Structure 1
Amino acid sequence: MRFNLGFFLREAAKNMRLNALMSVTAVTTTAVCVLVLGVGLLVSAHVEGILRGVGKDVAITAFFPEDVTREQIDQDRRQVEGYPEVEEVVFVSEAEALNRVKDMLSEQPEVMEGLDPDIMQASMEIRLADPEASDAVAERLRAEGFSEENLNYPQQTISQLNQVTGYVIWALRAATVLFLVASVLLISNAIRISIFARRKEIEVMKLVGASDGFVRTPFVLEGLAQGLIGATIAALVVVWGNAIFVEWASSALPFVPVSSSAVNTLLVLLVLIAVGVLIGIVGSFVSVRRFLRV
């Protein structure tokens, strides 16, 4: 029997119309599974973005000796700014350091009364492009003449941050894979019930000489359509929900670095739709195989 796309499309549409309840179930199942998958992708992207933002806030503080000259400070600053691992260098004078302490102790002014302003040291706050490069930058600063006592960098915090980042991202990726497998199984079961209701029709078609491909194609197109509809609905909900979350976080969580640029919404939209279509095709293909053995 020759391939006739129009016939297959009509058969797929007829199958969906005659089995409207099962079609709705398949679409809903796909939508829910793709929605969960989309939420997992969003959470993974935002967590990674937040941790990346927090990591950028980790700085190495290099204190200058009391007798350092302004020329030496400028020279050291320019040299550190040339490090490839360094993103930004901020100079903090003695007066600015004192003002920062005053701001921190604004609710305890009595503490400032006994504080000697001369104990403040000028320093450089060195922000890194990659927190993992802190050891290498600290070693170069030591080579430039900064003593261990004049360097302050929370290496333990950096290490813990990188470790937590790895655990969170891998856990979310594993959850995403599990949701994908669950989606295929659920849509496969939903379509299998629909095919089972028409098993006699399939047996008759096989007995009169219909090929496996001829019998399978309408069901594959039916699964594709169901996956496409469900995935499109879920993908639009995910993109819409992401926009609402970013807007809410900017006002409710001002100290948390949630950015709209952390998620490529167009890519997420296309990936979720593609996954939904793939779920529908694979699910229907797997389901119909056992009914072709007549």
Structure 2
Amino acid sequence: MKNKPLLVLAVVLTALLLFGAPEAALAAPVEQPGVAAEAACLMLTSSKRVLYDKNKDGIMYPASTTKIVTLLTALEKGQLNDEVVVSEAAADCEESRLGLHAGDRLSLRELLYGMMLPSGNDAAVAVGEHVGHGSLEAFIAMMNEQAQRAGATRTNFTNPHGLPDPINHYTTAYDMALITTYAYGKPEFTSIVNSRTHSVIFANRGKITVSNTNRLLGRFAGANGVKTGYTREAGECLVAGAERGGVQLIAVVLNSPQRWADAARLLEYGFKTLGIQ
């Protein structure tokens, strides 16, 4: 019978459609990674599907990962070519700093790099005051609106930098994944958070070359953002992004004693789960 091979193939294909592939033919499930963080979430940005969850809805302090929302709000509400004049309040902001002086003049775009790469709290205040038209409170209200627009329902911000407010400044790993997924829809956002270094140019003085605090950039295959954070109250935090084969993942780890390893394990797990090397 000349067509016997075709007939056999048709029968096999029909059986597979009706009963599924035999057990041995199915890809083995990927073992979930151990994660030391108190809270973690791994999200596929294209569908907002959660690929990994550890206490993802637990209320946590975000530390400087707050600046993700500050950047998003500035991109939504500000004009990147605006000149910003730095106030004394911004220049005096403590902890991690860009090194701003009162009266410094630079574009909003340059200020955003100075906020995100070296995690400048002084830059975050200057951004908030400028985009809020002189009112930091107005800008913070915009931040909370942006978070809600992204779908974050268990998040509230009281400042643009993430310094401790033990009562009213909080988020969850899931909410930060949602916010960052939303922000990745903006090319300018990705360009900034994926930069390993940048020379921040001032109109009134030279420039400051800054480096990104995100150690995964250039070390983890496909890493393309996003933001570190640390305070004593929040512990070490990291929102990490990576893209391979056109697939973008966001890993959030909050209060982790090994944030780099946690984030790398989560991202690698996500790509393997999706069949991407």
Kindly name which structure, 1 or 2, has the bigger radius of gyration based on alpha carbons.
Answer: 1
| TM-score, scaled to structure 1 | 0.21
| TM-score, scaled to structure 2 | 0.21
Pick the structure with more strand per residue: 2
